[in-house]
Amino acid sequence: MDFVAVDWGTSNRRVFEIAGGVVTATREDDQGILNCADFAGDVASIRAAAGGAPVLLAGMIGSNRGWVEVPYVAAPAGLSQIAAAVTWVQPGVGIVPGVSYSDNIAADVMRGEEVQVLGALALGEVGDGLLAHPGTHGKWIEVEDGRINRFRTVMTGDVFAALKAKSILSDLLQGEAGTGPAFVAGVDHGLAHGDLLAELFSVRARVLLGQAAKEDAASYVSGLLIGNEVSIGLGRRREPIVPVIGTAALSERFAVALDRAGRTARIVDGEDAFVAGMIAIMGATR
Amino acid sequence: MDFVAVDWGTSNRRVFEIAGGVVTATREDDQGILNCADFAGDVASIRAAAGGAPVLLAGMIGSNRGWVEVPYVAAPAGLSQIAAAVTWVQPGVGIVPGVSYSDNIAADVMRGEEVQVLGALALGEVGDGLLAHPGTHGKWIEVEDGRINRFRTVMTGDVFAALKAKSILSDLLQGEAGTGPAFVAGVDHGLAHGDLLAELFSVRARVLLGQAAKEDAASYVSGLLIGNEVSIGLGRRREPIVPVIGTAALSERFAVALDRAGRTARIVDGEDAFVAGMIAIMGATR
């Protein structure tokens, strides 16, 4: 056993036992930071199960709602800066810091995505340029000289969930969001129009006026939000190929949206990237 | 007693008894369409309390969740079109239709705001041009030749409520939203940037990075959303003075935002406009 890497998020937790540079066992449960009652006890159990191997934790576990708050490393940040800022909360138990970005206009933070970026770089799957990391709080990350140079978070998934939970669109958003023609139509509209707060209401109006099917609303709104995100994320960048790091289902949606924007997605598996990133960070801390 | 005008919305209901062209009594309660259990019975009580006078109902009572669904009148629609489309559900009991707009690109609907627009026109408070009707689903309405020519709904209030109820910003949005410097800063940002889904997350990042006070977040987000709405609503219109029909508190926020956009708000009391509109419609149905 080399070490145990833990992707400890808000809702879920994934544990990867790593030996000889490869994953030998994985476990996943719902003990994210909002559910976990005993961080220290759980970490002790994880170590014990791995024969006392070192443990490296990443993600929201290092946030102000997690176990021990670990300060962000300011961008530009690459492997050496991030590895140097790992906080060893106990001998053999480290927490990876997040990365922050700020200038006179923008301010942003990430926790966990930086590991996947470093992993994708280590795997040779991405290089300098723009990459996307879709999610509840999707990140668009500019890599320069192998470091995270700046980035921007777009609240797409969170806003979709909030609209679904409590808004005039709630009843229309309960269905499954597909990737068919309604999704593509939403993407095209989202790419072209920055007036999201108005376009969202028109979804309801179209259904009321019989111009759109209720069953298509969830797909259309998903497309509208993702199209808007892609438009924001691409900004003035001109990369023809944009790596997308994430889960298969979400990456596929972004691949469709990037295609509509005239770009090509290069899908990178988020779990592979996470493991490679943790191996790289662990190696660099020694 | 001339008649009774009822503004019957989603959550609330306001009753105005009108005699000699002026309001002689008003009542307000929480029996909006989502709470009211007996539309016919309540209307009978309202009539009885007014000595059997005719009753004219407007707002969501005519929607598919209300008492009797009354079809929208397609814009362009003025007093004569709207009055002609009042549906008499019983002798002496009428429901005002809403107004719809659609073309190849846009689709939109309103129910209730059209009464206030007709009233503001009847009062001489507005003429041809652009006007704003802020609210949970704020309307930006273009009046031409005294008719509602086209309009656009912006989901500002609804999105603010959804973000407050369920999103990463929930805890930051529980405070009161003021109109001080944080609100103005949000307005300026919202006016200048169409990338709302990214700007929203930066509110949280600024607080985490110590660049903004948690107490200012609700004001800033309110400003950001209203600035974005004003930018959408103004579009390419050039009117230096924009009438704002609504409640005093909300109109004041939009007056600040319009000022930041280099325009001047002309505040029109929404209740006065409603009463004048219902008197005009009732008169035109005879």
Q: Give per-residue pLDDT as tens, B230-266.
A: 999 999 999 999 999 999 999 999 999 999 999 999 9
Average pLDDT over residues A213-238: 96
CA dihedral B213→B219→B221→B223, nearest 10 degrees, is -130
| Residue B5: closest CA among B31, B29, B26 | B26
Q: What domains, with CATH codes, occur in chain B?
A: 3-123+274-285 (3.30.420.300), 154-268 (3.30.420.310)
What is the pLDDT confidence band of residue A286, given thresholds at 50, 70 and 90? confident
Strand partners, B101: B108
Q: For position B104, what pLDDT does the model report? A: 85
DSSP state letters, A191-230: HH-S-HHHHHHHHHHHHHTTSS-GGGHHHHHHHHHHHHHH
Does an H or E element contain B132, and which? strand B129-133
pLDDT tens for B164-200 read 999 999 999 999 999 999 999 999 999 998 799 999 9
The amino acid at residue A71 is P
Average pLDDT over residues A147-153: 98
User: How far is CA B149 from each of CA B60, B100, B154, B185, B281, rounded to the nearest angstrom?
Assistant: 21, 10, 17, 33, 18
| Residue B222: closest CA among B167, B159, B131 | B159
Q: Which of A103, A155, A171 to mutate to test the interface with B (most CBs of B within 10 A)?
A: A155
**Per-residue pLDDT for B1 more than 80?**
no
Q: For position B105, what pLDDT does the model report? A: 84
CB under 8 A, 24+ apart: contacts of A44-50: A46/A4, A46/A6, A46/A15, A47/A4, A47/A92, A47/A93, A50/A1, A50/A4, A50/A17
Question: Which of A136, A161, A197 comes nearest B154 by C-beta?
Answer: A197
Question: Which of A137, A166, A198 comes nearest B154 by C-beta?
Answer: A198
pLDDT tens for A109-143 read 999 999 999 999 999 999 999 999 999 999 999 99
Contacts of B74 in chain A (CB under 8 A): none
Q: Are B183 and B220 in contact (CB under 8 A)?
A: yes
Distance of alpha carbon A108 from alpha carbon B199, whole angstroms = 10
Q: Which residues in B have their CB inside 8 Å of a CB on A?
A: 64, 72, 100, 102, 106-109, 136-137, 152-156, 158-159, 161-163, 165-168, 194-198, 200-202, 204-206, 208-209, 211-212, 225, 228-229, 232
pLDDT tens for B104-142 read 888 999 999 999 999 999 999 999 999 999 999 999 999
Q: Do A163 and B162 touch (CB under 8 A)?
A: yes
**Per-residue pLDDT for A1 more than 90?**
no
Distance of alpha carbon B52 from alpha carbon B97, whole angstroms = 23
**Per-residue pLDDT for A226 more than 90?**
yes
**CA contacts within 13 A on the Cβ side of A58:** 33
Distance from the A111 Cα atom to the nearest Cα atom in chain B, whole angstroms: 12
Residue of chain B with shortest Cα separation from A69? B208
Q: For position A194, what pLDDT does the model report? A: 79
Q: Do B154 and A208 touch (CB under 8 A)?
A: no
ipTM of the complex: 0.93
Residue of chain A with shortest Cα separation from B205? A108
**Per-residue pLDDT for A240 more than 80?**
yes
Tokens of residue A257, six digits? 């949206």
Tokens of residue A158, six digits? 């969170």
Q: Do B158 and A167 touch (CB under 8 A)?
A: yes
Strand partners, B152: B140
Mean pLDDT of chain B: 96
Contacts of A156 in chain B (CB under 8 A): 197
Q: For position B286, what pLDDT does the model report? A: 76
**For residue A76, cis peptide bond before it (omega within 30 degrees of 0):** yes
Average pLDDT over residues A261-282: 98
Residues above pLDDT 90, as percent of chain B: 97
Distance of alpha carbon B279 from alpha carbon B19, whole angstroms = 10
Q: Which strands make up the sheet holding B129-133, listed edge to edge?
A: B147-154, B138-144, B129-133, B241-246, B264-269
Q: For position A152, what pLDDT does the model report? A: 97
Residues above pLDDT 70, as percent of chain B: 100
